[in-house]
Amino acid sequence: MAKAKRLISAREAILKIKDGSRVLIAPGCGEPSLLVEALIENRHRFKNLKIFFGFRLGDSRLLAGARDNFQISTWHATPLLQPAIQQKKVDYLPLRLSEVPQVFGPSGIWPVDVILLSASPPDLHGFLSLGVSTGITFPLVFHAPLVIAEINENMPRTLGQSFVPESRINFLIESDRPLVNYRKASFGATEAEIARNLSPLIPDGSTLQIGIGSVPEATLESLSRKNDLGIHSGMITDGIMELIEEGVITNRVKSINPGKVVTGEIMGSIALYEYCNQNPGIEMQPVTYTHSWRVLKNVKRFVAVNSALEIDLSGQINTETLKGQVVGAVGGLLDFVIGSNLAPEGTNIFALPSTAEGGKTSRIVASLSRGSAVSVPRSLVHYVVTEYGVANLKGKGLDERAQALIEIAHPGFRDELKKSLETS
């Protein structure tokens, strides 16, 4: 293994990448923005560079090289990427997060040649911390032939499975840029009402997984009167930090990793990054741990809280497509839902507004439309929550499920949904 003693410029680092290589870029707030910028500026030297990434918050300039210079694939269709996916400039990979290290590992379908990542400066022992993003990067960084690290003095030194020896890094570049921030999603009266309906389903002492977006943010605010909650999640945001500071999240009674928030991604503000710096209460882990059902089955009272784009009257969940177009992802959703079904006293909750497009369409539909993805099979779904109430689907037959879901649909669509049952 070559020792990483070479400090070079971002441009020089990009020139070390051979055309035709498979390049993985660290996701979320761990994106190495200086390296990505250098990749964009030097795109014309490539004719067939294969680029892979997940949840991406960076700008759209990387797409300028799509087709001509880059072959881009993603397992998370953020709004930034949706037009490019529809135009076939970017390929969507419907992957569960837990399988990403296998797919891109040495024996996988797409073994990566290059990893571009962000990290903290090395400590006295020569170890860098992957900081805010370890979920995908950590299990792959020890196998990729070429690892290029953007060493950022603003990157917090997070603890847990976060440390990489400097000798594992082939080339280093220095950066003092602010980290990519994730701004908390705003929410309105509808999301607040959904959260009020959802909150009673989360008992004291639960260990939560929760996603990002308007409904999750409203849900976190609704939990202020809970006690001894724990976190085992794919990502954490400022809302988690606020509940820790309020004494709501203590992680005290967790059945595994007690006293620790377990996560693989930190997405939020500078204040959150500072809070997580050297914080022994935050334990970073790879997706092979955070999303593994073998781990989750041991988490007592595990509650997975997620949203959905639409759900049909049998309980099938779609989180990926609208009108046949990819607009979302599988992500960690299915992993956590499976885990919630295996965990002692575990459950899962799908929370969503009853309508979309300003009230023009119902998110609860008679059947998923042609081209829609079944992201979660109906056999795994427990609760569905809208602003109109809660539908408990666990153990229910098809007729009972349909009736329960119609009751929480928007009143303007209930008659139409009832008629669909009569004609089916």
Asked if residue 156 and residue 233 are part of one domain, the reply reads no
Asked if residue 94 and residue 213 are part of one domain, the reply reads no
Mean of the pLDDT values across residues 78-100?
Answer: 92
Asked if residue 267 and residue 171 are part of one domain, the reply reads no
Judge whether 88 lies within some domain. yes
Asked if residue 133 and residue 206 are part of one domain, the reply reads no
- Label residue 90 by pLDDT band (50, 70, 90): very high
- Of the candidates 166, 160, 141, which has an alpha carbon nearest to the alpha carbon of residue 278? 160
Half-sphere exposure of 109 (CA within 13 A, CB side): 6
Asked if residue 385 and residue 357 are part of one domain, the reply reads yes
The angle, 0 to 180 degrees and rounded to 10, between the axes of the packed helices 214-221 and 189-198 is 60
pTM over 0.75: yes
- Label residue 1 by pLDDT band (50, 70, 90): very low
Asked if residue 224 and residue 144 are part of one domain, the reply reads no
pLDDT tens for 226-268 read 999 999 999 999 999 999 999 999 999 999 999 999 999 999 9
Asked if residue 396 and residue 253 are part of one domain, the reply reads yes
Judge whether 408 lies within some domain. yes
DSSP for 15-45 reads: HTSPTT-EEEE--GGG--HHHHHHHHHTGGG
- Label residue 324 by pLDDT band (50, 70, 90): confident
Give SS3 for 275.
helix
> For the chain, what is the total number of helices (H) and then of strands (E)?
14, 28
Asked if residue 143 and residue 114 are part of one domain, the reply reads yes
Judge whether 184 lies within some domain. no
Asked if residue 208 and residue 159 are part of one domain, the reply reads no
Q: Are strands 127-129 and 163-165 parallel, antiparallel or unpaired?
A: antiparallel
Element (H, E) at 231: strand 230-231
What is the extent of the structural domain holding 374?
189-423
CATH classification of the domain holding 201: 3.40.1080.20
pLDDT tens for 45-73 read 999 999 999 998 877 888 888 889 999 99
Asked if residue 41 and residue 79 are part of one domain, the reply reads yes
Judge whether 181 lies within some domain. no
Please state, in angstroms and rounded to a whole number, the distance separating the CA atoms of residues 254 and 230. 6
Residue whose entry in the numeric block shows the structure tokens 């009569």: 422
Is a pLDDT exceeding 90 seen at residue 5? no
Please state, in angstroms and rounded to a whole number, the distance separating the CA atoms of residues 394 and 128. 45
Contact 328, 321 (CB under 8 A): yes
Give SS3 for 77.
coil
- Tell me the average pLDDT of the chain: 95
Contact 233, 212 (CB under 8 A): no
Judge whether 346 lies within some domain. yes
Highest-scoring range by mean pLDDT, 53-57, 209-213, 408-412: 408-412
- Label residue 424 by pLDDT band (50, 70, 90): low
Please tell me the predicted confidence (pLDDT) of residue 163: 98
Element (H, E) at 149: strand 146-152
Please state, in angstroms and rounded to a whole number, the distance separating the CA atoms of residues 80 and 330. 17
Please tell me the predicted confidence (pLDDT) of residue 157: 98
Residue 57 structure tokens: 């918050």
Last-in-domain residue among 150, 175, 200: 175
Largest CA distance in the chain: 71
Contact 23, 140 (CB under 8 A): no
Judge whether 249 lies within some domain. yes
Last-in-domain residue among 151, 175, 199: 175
Judge whether 1 lies within some domain. no
CA dihedral 126, 132, 136, 142 (to 10 degrees): 0
Asked if residue 252 and residue 167 are part of one domain, the reply reads no
Contact 173, 8 (CB under 8 A): yes
Q: Structurally, how many domains does the chain consist of?
A: 2
Query: What is the share, in percent, of the chain residues with pLDDT greater than 90?
Result: 89
Residue 377 carries which side chain, given as an amino acid letter? P
Mean of the pLDDT values across residues 159-172?
Answer: 97
Contact 366, 424 (CB under 8 A): yes
Give SS3 for 151.
strand
Give SS3 for 259.
coil
Is a pLDDT exceeding 80 seen at residue 4? no
Burial 227-246 (b: 16+ CB within 10 A, else e): ebbbbbbbbbbbbbbbbbee
Please tell me the predicted confidence (pLDDT) of residue 3: 46
CATH classification of the domain holding 18: 3.40.1080.10
Please state, in angstroms and rounded to a whole number, the distance separating the CA atoms of residues 371 and 325. 8
Residue 223 structure tokens: 């939990």
- Label residue 2 by pLDDT band (50, 70, 90): very low
Distances (CA, A) of 253 to 195, 261, 304, 373, 391: 24, 12, 17, 37, 28
pLDDT tens for 270-302 read 999 999 999 999 999 999 999 999 999 999 999
Please state, in angstroms and rounded to a whole number, the distance separating the CA atoms of residues 418 and 424. 10
- Label residue 185 by pLDDT band (50, 70, 90): confident
Last-in-domain residue among 175, 207, 239: 175
Asked if residue 272 and residue 138 are part of one domain, the reply reads no
